[in-house]
Amino acid sequence: MALVLFDLDNTLLAGDSDYAWGQFLIAEGGVDRERYERANADFYEAYKAGTLDIAEFLAFALEPLNRLPRAQLLAWRARFVEECVRPMVKPWVAPLLADYRAQGATLALVTATNDFVTAPIAELIGIPHLIATVAEERCGRFTGRPEGVPCFRDGKVTRVRSWMAGHGLSFEDSTFYSDSHNDLPLFEAVSRAIAVDPDPILLAAAQERGWEILRSDPSPQALFG
């Protein structure tokens, strides 16, 4: 059975859900505007540059989950998905996923963004399996720490391999869509690599390796090549 893996931010979405969630919390008064906005922007730039310290970032990104009441977080998350994420979904995503489903492929979303933010996004988009950085919980409360290996860079490969082992799947007939050079380890692991609106580093790697390159809003026919 074919396995199709998708990065989320700037791949299926025209934007970054992790960054957008931080901006949403700022707008709702859930975090200190001046401190959080500056740090959110700095971490996002570091991610794009390939210099992100994932442990430092997760300590920052998961702290509000530990501090804010769960009921408030859930209410804000529901609004965030509807008001901010739904408009970000690229128009070609739904027909592409429908085609893969018709072929009987197994679809999974693989993202560094934590599972509290991305679980409802996977549901919104219609991808049944989510492999994400896990926000640790203890006794019904978020701890503000990640659980296990963050789903980032080599960690994405580790997390995907672990997930595949539990589902009887392998990289033998696998496809991966992503925009980011941070995902080069997973690109190297799959049998079909598709760079979607790639950043400059990924674009150079894709051209060198002969990977498929997709630009914004291609037709479903172009997506399948």
Amino acid at 112: A
7 is catalytic: yes
3-state secondary structure of 209: helix
What tokens appear for 54 in the block? 């994932």
Crossing angle of helices 115-125/70-80, nearest 10°? 40
Which of 9, 16, 179, 197 is labelled catalytic? 9
**Cβ pair 56, 46 in contact under 8 A:** no
Is residue 154 part of the annotated active site? The answer reads no
Nearest CA among 43, 22, 7, 25 for reference residue 121: 7
- Whole-angstrom distance, CA of residue 40 vs CA of residue 26: 10
Q: Which amino acids are annotated catalytic? A: 7, 9
